[in-house]
């Protein structure tokens, strides 16, 4: 089988460190597909990437064909089949949102342009670095020859968090849970939605009512515990661990690519993909939706009903995405 070239940006960071070894082991592309890794860093991050490359060598992974390290985007993305854009500029003390968007546009704009020039024809891109949805929008806008639906931003971590919280609350296994959706932005405004979810084939609200003591208790749990817990889980991890989610984020990025390439099977997952107006989300935004893949890339699951509560929450998150898009437009970044 031909080797797949996977480029990881920010490869010297903590998510990169949790991600590279699992890609090289075959956990992302399957046990038969050889992989060539490209680690793209800024000059300050090269040493850490080199260290990871030494350890990759020491693992003697049978599927790993090569590891190349660079701080040049064109070299890093040359012939890439998959790009995982993890490296981003974090919010520094005193930074306004416009400054953060502009700093990241300075990364994701040039990376999108480099992808446009040198990536393989079948390139697929997942943006992990925050603000992920708008960074995906900027990268895609800078890559006019790559179809917009090849870009996505990661909301799989939010999705997996929601699945795990539902399994925990109903004392069932995560494998019993289906039909969970993350809508909107990968931020505190996201809407983790259980209205279409099932647990062991029964509507999640029914199973929750049994576990929590009635329908009112379910509504309280959803609004006061579940939604905020999933949306703010990143802050909870920082408070407990002392640094931000890394292994779980890497796992989610890997699952995002794996399911896009190998298929989602019977159920659906969540990813922030290009809106063509589905569910009233403004066309052109990268917003999280329920998605399936048959191996050819993510497609939005259509036709789900949204009640007033769901509509209001989705609209609030989309309003934030629209404001981010308008801000980068006003700055002339897209």
The annotated binding site is made up of 10-16, 91, 97, 104, 111, 128-130, 161
CB of 250 to ligand NAX, least distance (A): 8
| x/- letters, 101..120, toward ligand NAX (CB under 6 A) | ------x-------------
Using rule CB under 6 A, residue 184 touches ligand NAX: no
Q: For residues 15 and 105, which CB has a smaller minimum distance to ligand NAX in the complex?
A: 15
| Residue from the set 6, 8, 15, 257 that interacts with ligand NAX by CB under 6 A | 15
| Residue from the set 157, 166, 231, 314 that interacts with ligand NAX by CB under 6 A | 157
Using rule CB under 6 A, residue 75 touches ligand NAX: no
| Residue from the set 35, 100, 128, 152 that interacts with ligand NAX by CB under 6 A | 128
Secondary structure element (H or E) that encloses residue 42, with its range:
none
| Residue from the set 130, 251, 255, 275 that interacts with ligand NAX by CB under 6 A | 130
Contacts 24+ apart (CB under 8 A), 17-23: 17/48, 17/52, 17/246, 18/246, 18/247, 18/249, 18/250, 18/251, 19/84, 19/86, 19/250, 19/253, 19/254, 20/52, 20/56, 21/55, 21/56, 21/59, 22/250, 22/251, 22/254, 23/254
Q: Residues at the annotated binding site for NAD(+)? A: 10-16, 104, 111, 128-130
The two structure tokens encoding residue 116: 């446009």
- Sole window of 42-50, 189-197, 208-216, 220-228 interacting with ligand NAX (rule: CB under 6 A): 42-50
CB of 18 to ligand NAX, least distance (A): 8
Q: For residues 129 and 192, which CB has a smaller minimum distance to ligand NAX in the complex?
A: 129
Surface-to-core class of residue 118, CB atoms within 10 Å of its CB (0-12 exposed, 13-18 middle, 19+ buried) = middle
Using rule CB under 6 A, residue 42 touches ligand NAX: yes
The two structure tokens encoding residue 109: 């704009």
How many other CB atoms are found less than 10 A from the CB of residue 74? Answer: 15
- Sole window of 40-48, 173-181, 222-230, 291-299 interacting with ligand NAX (rule: CB under 6 A): 40-48
What lies within 8 Å, CB to CB, of 127 at 6+ separation is: 85, 108, 133, 135, 136, 139, 151, 152, 153, 154
| Residue from the set 80, 83, 86, 162 that interacts with ligand NAX by CB under 6 A | 86
Residue appearing with tokens 């890559």:
143
Asked if 268 contacts 291 with a C-beta cutoff of 8 angstroms, the reply is yes
Using rule CB under 6 A, residue 13 touches ligand NAX: yes
Q: How far apart are CA 250 and CA 37, in angstroms?
A: 15
| x/- letters, 215..254, toward ligand NAX (CB under 6 A) | -------------------x---------xxx--x-----
| x/- letters, 283..302, toward ligand NAX (CB under 6 A) | --------------------
Sign of CA dihedral 157, 158, 162, 163: negative
Residue count, binding to ligand NAX (CB under 6 A): 30
Surface-to-core class of residue 285, CB atoms within 10 Å of its CB (0-12 exposed, 13-18 middle, 19+ buried) = buried
Asked if 85 contacts 108 with a C-beta cutoff of 8 angstroms, the reply is yes
Question: How does strand 82-85 pair with strand 4-9?
Answer: parallel
| x/- letters, 45..74, toward ligand NAX (CB under 6 A) | x--x--------------------------
Q: How far apart are CA 123 and CA 77, in angstroms?
A: 10
Residues tagged active-site: 186
Residues in contact with ligand NAX by CB under 6 A are: 9-10, 12-16, 40-42, 44-45, 48, 86-88, 90, 107, 128-130, 132, 154, 157, 186, 234, 244-246, 249
């Amino acid at each position: 089988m031909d080797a797949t070239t996977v480029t990881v940006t920010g490869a010297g960071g903590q998510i990169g460190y949790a991600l590279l070894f699992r890609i090289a082991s075959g956990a992302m592309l399957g046990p038969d597909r050889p992989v060539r890794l490209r680690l793209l860093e800024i000059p300050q991050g090269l040493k850490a990437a080199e260290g990871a490359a030494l350890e990759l060598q020491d693992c003697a992974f049978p599927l790993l064909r090569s590891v190349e390290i660079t701080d040049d985007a064109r070299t890093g993305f040359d012939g890439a089949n998959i790009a995982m854009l993890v490296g981003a500029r974090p919010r520094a003390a005193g930074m306004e949102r416009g400054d953060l968007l502009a700093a990241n546009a300075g990364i994701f704009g040039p990376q999108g342009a480099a992808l446009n020039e040198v990536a393989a024809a079948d390139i697929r891109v997942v943006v992990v670095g925050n603000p992920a949805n708008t960074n995906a929008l900027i990268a895609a806008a800078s890559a006019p020859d790559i179809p917009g639906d090849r870009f996505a931003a990661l909301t799989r971590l939010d999705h997996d968090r929601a699945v795990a919280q539902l399994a925990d609350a109903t004392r069932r296994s995560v494998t019993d849970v289906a039909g969970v959706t993350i809508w909107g932005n990968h931020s505190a405004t996201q809407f983790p939605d259980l209205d279409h979810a099932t647990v062991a084939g029964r509507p999640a609200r029914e199973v929750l009512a049994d576990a929590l003591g009635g329908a009112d208790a379910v509504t309280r749990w959803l609004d006061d515990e579940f939604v905020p817990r999933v949306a703010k889980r990143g802050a909870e991890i920082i408070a407990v661990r002392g640094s931000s989610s890394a292994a779980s984020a890497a796992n989610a990025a890997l699952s995002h690519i794996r399911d896009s390439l190998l298929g989602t099977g019977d159920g659906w997952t969540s990813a922030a993909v290009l809106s063509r107006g589905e569910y009233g989300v403004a066309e052109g935004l990268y917003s999280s939706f329920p998605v399936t893949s048959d191996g050819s890339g993510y497609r939005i699951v259509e036709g789900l009903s949204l009640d007033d509560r769901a509509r209001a929450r989705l609209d609030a998150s989309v309003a934030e995405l629209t404001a981010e898009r308008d801000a980068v437009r006003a700055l002339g970044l897209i």
